[in-house]
Every structure is written in C-alpha cells, then in structure tokens.
Amino acid sequence: MADTSNSIAFVRTETLPQLDPPASEVGVIGWMKHNLFNGVWGTLLTLLSLWAIYYVLSGFLPWLLGGVWGTNSLAECREVLGGAAGGCFSVLSERWNQLLFGFTYPEEYYWRPTVAFVLLFVAIAPVMFSMLPRVMLVFTAIYPFLAFHLIWGGTILSPLLAMAGFIVGYLAYSRLVNQSFAMGFFGGIVAAVLTWYIGGFIVDAIAPENPTLGAVPSRDMGGFMLNMILGVVCVSLSIPLGIALALGRQSDMPIIKWICVVFIEFIRGVPLITLLFVANVVLAYFLPPGTNFDLILRVIIMITMFASAYIAEVIRGGLAALPRGQYEAADSLGLDYAQSMRLIILPQALKISIPGIVNVAVGLFKDTTLVSIISMFDLVGMIRGPILASTEWNGVYWELFGFAAFLFFIVCYGISQYSQWLERQLATDHR
Amino acid sequence: MTTITDPPQGSFKLSMLLNDTRYRSYTFQFIALVLLIGAIAYLISNLFANLAAAGLNISYAFLGEPAGYDINQRLIEYDSQSTHWRATLVGVLNTLLVAFLACVTATILGVIAGVLRLSNNWLISKLMSFYVEAFRNVPVLIWILMINAVFLVVLPQPRAFRGDNPEATMLFDMFAFTGRGVYFPAPIFSNSLTGSAGTDWLLVIIGLVLSFFGVRQVAKWAQAKQEATGVRPNTLWINLAIWFGPLLVLFTIMGLSFDYPELKGFNFQGGGWARGSLIALWFALSVYTGAFIAENVRAGIQAISKGQTEAAASLGLRPGRIMNLVILPQALRVIIPPLISQYLNITKNSSLAIAVGYMDITATLGGITLNQTGRAIEAVLLLMLFYLIISLTISAVMNVYNNSVKLKER
C-alpha cells in the first residue's frame, strides 16, 4: 500500500477558492433573468406588459405634462393648445374653490373649513399614533365641537352647551358607576339629556344677534368638504353604534338579539342608494308634522346606520375569533358583563377587527359620493352638476373625474397603508 | 365546608329586577321591547298624521296604471302604455342582466389578476398591484361616470359609419361600437316552437340545464369506473356531445338565423342593441369588483401552506394535478364565501345605474315611477324588498355552500 502513494501524480493539499456565480445568475442580469424573462411565458408577459405600459404612458404623459392651467373656458383652452395633446387643467384652477367647498359656501368664510381640516390631523394624530403624548387627547375631545363651530358658525353657545352635556353626563356616570355599570350608564345619559334640554332654553334666550362667526346653513355645504364631513362624522358615529350592535347580536337575551339581527341584515341587504332615497323622500313622513330638519342631517343618520351594520358584522367576527377561554377566564375572575367586555373581550376583539373596520371606513368614504344622486353637491355632484353643465366647461370629463379619482385615491390609499402599519404594530403573536 | 347556601327564597324585592342576574335580563328585554314598540308606534302615528295632512294613503294601485314613459333597453315587451308594474319588471330584469354579466366578467378578471399578482414575473405582479390599488381606492361611482364618458366621447356616432369612405367601420360587418351603444347580430328563430321568443329561449336554457345534469352523471359514471378498474375513461367527446348535441338539434328545429345590424339613414336598424350605459355600467362594475376579487383570490391561494404543494409533489403528482386536486379545492373553500359577497356587492352597486341612465329597477321604480306618481313610501319599500330578497337568497346559497365544504371533523 505504501508505494501506491507515489503513483499518484498530484494531490491537492488545500481547497479550491469558491468561484463567483455565473454572470447570468447575479446582479442586474440575474435578477432580470429570474424576475422578467423567466421562460417563454414569462418573457411574453413581460413584453406584453412593457407594450401596455408604453401605450398608456405615451397617451397619458403628453396629456398630463402638456396641460394648460391658466385659461377661462374650454374654447380658450383648446385655442391655446392648438390641436396639441394636453389636458385643460385650467378647469381645476378656475373652479378650485367650487370643487373643494361647493358653490354656495360664502367665499369670505373659506378659511374656516380649511382651519377645521388642518386641525383634523392634530385631533386624529393621538388616536392614530399611540407614541404621541396622551394630553393631546383633550384636543381630540374638544375637536368635534370646534369643527362644528368653525364650519357651521353661529353662536358659540350651542357647541359649548353640547360639550357641557357630555361633561355633565360623564360626571354623573363616574359618580354612579360604583353602584353598577347600568346605573352609571343610564344615569349619565339622563343627566346629559337634562342638561341639553334646560340649556337649550338658556341658549335661545341669551344668544347674541350677530355671532362672531357668521352662521352657514347646511344646504350650502358642498364639494370635497361635504365628502369629508360625511365620511368623518359617519365613521366616528358608526363605530360605537357598531360595537353596541355586535354585542347585542352576541347577547343571550333573545329579544335584544333579534332586534339587532333584523336591523343588521336589513341594512346589509339593501343598497345605500335606497337608504339615501329614504333620507331624501321618505323620512319626512315619519317625523312629527311640521318638523323639517335638513337633508345633510338626514343623510348622516342613514349613512351612519348603514356603516354601523357593516362595522357590527366586522366586530362580531372579532368577537367570534376570540377563544372561548377568554370569556370563561373573565367569568371566573368574577367580573360582571360590562367589566369583562370592557377589560378583557373588547380590547382583543377590536384589535382583531381593525383591518375590517378600516375597510368599512374606506368603503364608506367612497360611498359618500352617492349623495350626488339625491342631488347634493359633493365633489362628484359639483362636477356632474354646476361645472359640466356650465357653458365654459361643458365636455371636460377627464380632467375633472381624474382629479376626483386622484383625491379619493390619496385619502383611501393613505388610510389603508395606515391600517397595514397599525396591524404590524399591534401584532403581539410570536412568529 | 361543602355547605351550599340556597338563594334566598320568597323575598322578592323590586331592586332585584336590576341587581339580580336572574331577573335583570328580563328587565332589560322588557325595556328594549317597550322602547321598540313605542318608537314604532310613534313613527307610524307620525306617518298617518302626515299622510292625512297631505291627503294621501298607502296604496299600490299605482302599479296598475299606465306608466307613460319609455324604456329603450328592455328584455321583455314594453311600451309607454304598459303599466308601472310592467316597467318595474323591466327594471328587475335589467338589474339582473347587468348584475349577471358583471359577475361573470368580474370573476374572470379577478381570477386572472389575482393569480398574476402572485406571479414570479416582477413587472406583471407590480402592474396587477397597481390595477388593484387604483380601482379599490376610487369610488365606483367615479369609475362608472368616467367609463360612461369614454363611451360617449371616444366612440364614434352612427353617422361616422356613413358614406363611401367612413371614419369608422364595423367589426367583421357584424358589430358596431358607437357612442349610442353596441350593435350586434341578434339570433332569431324562424320556426318558433312555442310561439314567442321568450319561451323559446326558456327552452334553450332548460336544455342547457339538462345537459349540465347529464355531464354530472357522466362524471359520476367515470368516477365509478375509475374506482373499479383504475382506468379513467376519456369523457371529453361524450361531454362535448351532451353539451352541444341538444343545442344543435333545438336550433335546427327552430331555424336559428341571425339578424345583422345595418346602417339605415342616421342610425343602425335591426340586430340587437346594448345601450352605451349598459356597456359602461357592465364594464365599470367588472373592473371595479374584479380588483376586489383579485385580492380574495390572492388571499385564498396564499392561505394554503407551502407544505401542501410539497407533500403533493412528494406523492408524485404532476404540477397541473397538484393545482387541481390539492391546492384549488382547499383555496376555493377560502375564496368562495368572499366571492359570493362580492356578487352581492355587484348587485347592490348596479343600483348606481341611475347615474348613467340605465333603466334598472332603481331608475324605473325608484326614479321615474316614484317621481311621476309621488308614491315615495310604496316605491321605496318595494325597491328595498326586491334587494332584500336577492341578498337573502344569495346568503342562503352561501350558507348551504359553507356547510357543504366545512371541514368534516370528528
């Protein structure tokens, strides 16, 4: 055996250094090979999509970049363009205020909704981002009354009274809640209603003739502002209502359960537009003769009912997804129904429901455009009504609808990105 | 220490209604019931007071009166002398028509987009994400109006087809895409079996349903044979014969021929005509809902763990069979419930037809009929009832399906 070692001509004593991967497998080329030109079908699809992208962009970019911004009518704009490709974006700049505020909102008051809009972000921020100081929630609590006062104007006493009602209700609740939750809850409601009832007479008596901020009637609201008002108000009102409906549907009490089931299934079974018809033409028949409260409020009631039914179903899903042990653990600790819901069940169920609630909120915000069908002048209503019907801008479809689509896209895409971020933040399970 | 204290007997106090859990739920339910009945009674008394003040009553007699308006897109016979009830029926059929068409195309679009979004091809998956995000985040009403504007503005008017050297030509001399709608060849029966075109088509549909059951029988037979012998018989030709044989026989007996649209004067005559608004609504609902369905499909496929594919591959199944026998049956369980609720959404969103002037039930019953007769309560109630019936039916179908595919656990 010893002499065989001599018959081997060469023995490598160290390992070879690793070769670089083939040039076709790494870098830009490798990436393209794997992600763009992966087989015959992959290549074909890539070429097809490249062609589609080129086709769309070659039409769209000249239109977007070659647009005209400074003219006063479509005819003038076409003259400036002189047959060249380009959009007449001057309709946006000329009708900017109408698109945002509607055509009857007093021009000298435009700063008020704008301020309310900016403050909305300040008010929403502490709700959305838990790392912000909790003191900011005080502003969030004040914001609804402030925004109402800014947008609708009138005497400042009415929003102050509304706020006072809530404060008195809360004080009564915290006084009585030691006895039982039900006592505190109903006591709070009674105290708040009493405050509003009595305060109503006082406000009527001492309201000044000419308030600092001039009053604007509801029918003057319009444009994107109306979409924002409807969206924000209805979403924030429908979440508590939805929670109540979901709990009612899960309840052991048959009568309450069936009231909730019928309500939810009825609302989910009909299109929103029929509910808006109800708000527009039917609801007046069901109110005491002589009362006449404005369309925007009727629409808010109907959209809130609509959204709350959907949110209730989302939350019911969250409640059903909780393991049975959580309910039993709460019971075994001796917590009563209100405590176990407030401290154990709802925090977990709501966390599971967040993506669904955000979906409903986005859908609802999109659905606020439907009010244009019952001839309210929201963003779409403004475009279809006063702007497209005007002699100056008859026929400018793309610029206007594109702008509306763009506005809604920004808001809805932003919200859904936020919800995905929040979901990652709240994920406490181990992966 | 095992003494169990009995609950105190016989000393019922009024406070127990609120503090004792045995009675509390009755108290709450009683309060809720009283409040509900009170609210309903209040609303109804208001209703009667208002109706009395306006000199109105609740009556559906208006459905029997002549409607007096025209509907140019219709599936059944209708003219302006027909009753409001007939107009409502036309609207119902139009709603069902556009909803059905949109469901079919939205499913096709959604499945393609959902699968392509998971593709290895970077460009196409990004393109599909763009499609999904763009359509999901913009109101469907804006899409409907935009697409309707495309049909109105971009497509040529019928007069563009005139002359020796026309600006626009018909596709295969059969289809004309105009701003007024799409003209297409309409099938007609020269030798009607039943006397009216509607019942003839019903016959065709019955034939198709019978064929469907026939094909299922064949599949059952093939399955039995495969289990007995291990060889699955080739059923392709039998299936084709069952699908198309009866149809061909029916069409030959009834003498099927096509009526082609022709340009006469300023407009097309003959053939079938789908209004531009129908096409626009159909297209808009399809692409909008397609984006949502794409998301459902993607979620469904992603919900199946990779281990399933690997396990099937290790059993020696080919990739096509892995998809058909292992992945799809499991993914469909996840996909179909949200898919059906998307169908429900299409049906409800089709009520936006009123924005583009397509005469669905919302535009006939809830639009012109309501405005002409002033019967707001009756019309809106009937409208809601129709949509409720549709959605409850679809929910019932969904429940049956969910029960049939539920994981059968021990």
pLDDT at A13: 87
Chain B nearest C-alpha distance from A5 (Å) = 45
Domain assignment of residue A205, given as a range: 158-212
CA of B367: which chain A residue's CA is closest?
A: A277
Of B116, B121, B149, the CB nearest to A397: B149
Instruction: Report if residue A263 sits inside a domain.
Output: yes
Domain assignment of residue B275, given as a range: 84-185+260-405
Distance CA A135, CA A126 (A): 9
Distance CA A421, CA A418 (A): 5
A284 with A380, same domain: the answer is yes
Instruction: Report if residue A99 sits inside a domain.
Output: no
Please measure the distance between the N-terminal and C-terminal CA atoms of chain A and give it in whole angstroms: 58
Chain A nearest C-alpha distance from B280 (Å) = 15
User: What is the greatest pairwise CA distance in chain A?
Assistant: 122
A-chain residues near B47 (CB < 8 A): 285-286
**DSSP letter string over B152-216?**
HHTSPPGGGG-SSS-SS--BTTTBEEETTEEEE-EEEESS-SSSSHHHHHHHHHHHHHHHHHHHH
What pLDDT, in 10s, does the model give residues A164-193? 888 888 888 888 877 777 778 888 888 889
A368 with A385, same domain: the answer is yes
A161 with A199: CB under 8 angstroms? Answer: yes
Say yes or no: A397 contacts chain B, CB-CB below 8 A: yes
Is B139 close to A369, i.e. CB distance below 8 A?
yes
Query: What is chain B's percent helix, strand, coil content, to nearest 5?
Result: 70, 5, 25
Q: For residue B174, is pLDDT > 70?
A: no
pLDDT at B265: 63
Of A34, A369, A398, the CB nearest to B141: A369
**Number of structural domains found in chain B:** 1
Interface test with B, best of A50, A262, A268, A277 (most B CBs within 10 A): A277
In Å, what is the CA distance from B171 to each residue of A398, B149, B182, B260, B264? 27, 22, 11, 12, 17
ipTM of predicted complex: 0.86
Could you tell me which residue, A2 or A198, shows the higher pLDDT?
A198
B-chain residues near A50 (CB < 8 A): 123
Instruction: Give A 277-316 residues with CB within 8 A of chain B.
Output: 277-278, 281-282, 284-289
Q: Give the list of residues 6+ apart from residue A366 with CB closer than 8 angstroms, or none.
A: A408, A412, B137, B138, B139, B140
Instruction: Report if residue A29 sits inside a domain.
Output: no
The CATH number that applies at residue B107 is: 1.10.3720.10
Could you tell me which residue, A26 or A269, shows the higher pLDDT?
A269
A366 with B139: CB under 8 angstroms? Answer: yes
B-chain residues near A274 (CB < 8 A): 351, 362, 366, 380, 383-384, 387
Q: For residue A72, is pLDDT > 90?
A: no
pLDDT at B258: 72
What pLDDT, in 10s, does the model give residues B290-306? 999 999 988 888 888 88
Query: What is chain A's percent helix, strand, coil content, to nearest 5?
Result: 75, 0, 25
Chain A nearest C-alpha distance from B197 (Å) = 33
Say yes or no: A385 contacts chain B, CB-CB below 8 A: no
Say yes or no: A326 contacts chain B, CB-CB below 8 A: no
A302 with A355, same domain: the answer is yes
* pLDDT tier for residue A305 given thresholds of 50, 70 and 90: very high
* pLDDT tier for residue B385 given thresholds of 50, 70 and 90: very high
B-chain residues near A408 (CB < 8 A): 137-139, 142
pLDDT at A3: 55
Say yes or no: A93 contacts chain B, CB-CB below 8 A: no
Is B120 close to A372, i.e. CB distance below 8 A?
no
Q: For residue A242, is pLDDT > 90?
A: yes
Q: Which two tokens stand for residue A154?
A: 């009138």
A-chain residues near B365 (CB < 8 A): none
* pLDDT tier for residue A80 given thresholds of 50, 70 and 90: confident
A232 with A267, same domain: the answer is yes
Of B51, B127, B134, the CB nearest to A285: B51
Instruction: Give A 346-365 residues with CB within 8 A of chain B.
Output: 362
What pLDDT, in 10s, does the model give residues B310-324? 999 999 988 778 878
Q: Which two tokens stand for residue A224?
A: 């994107």
Q: Mean pLDDT, to the nearest integer, of B336-354?
A: 88
**Number of structural domains found in chain A:** 2
pLDDT at B170: 65
What pLDDT, in 10s, does the model give residues A266-296? 999 899 999 998 888 888 888 887 777 788 8
Distance CA A376, CA B359 (A): 22
* pLDDT tier for residue B151 given thresholds of 50, 70 and 90: confident
Q: For residue B4, is pLDDT > 60?
A: no
Is B32 close to A42, i.e. CB distance below 8 A?
no
A204 with A269, same domain: the answer is no
B-chain residues near A272 (CB < 8 A): 348
Say yes or no: A334 contacts chain B, CB-CB below 8 A: no
* pLDDT tier for residue B271 given thresholds of 50, 70 and 90: low
How does the average pLDDT of chain A come out, rounded?
A: 85
Instruction: Report if residue A4 sits inside a domain.
Output: no
A177 with A295, same domain: the answer is no
Instruction: Report if residue B201 sits inside a domain.
Output: no
Instruction: Report if residue A187 sits inside a domain.
Output: yes
pLDDT at B8: 54
* pLDDT tier for residue B2 given thresholds of 50, 70 and 90: low
- Ranking A406-410, A415-419, B23-27 by mean pLDDT, the lowest is B23-27
Q: For residue B77, is pLDDT > 80?
A: no
Instruction: Report if residue A311 sits inside a domain.
Output: yes
pLDDT at B38: 93
Q: For residue B196, is pLDDT > 90?
A: no
Instruction: Report if residue B302 sits inside a domain.
Output: yes
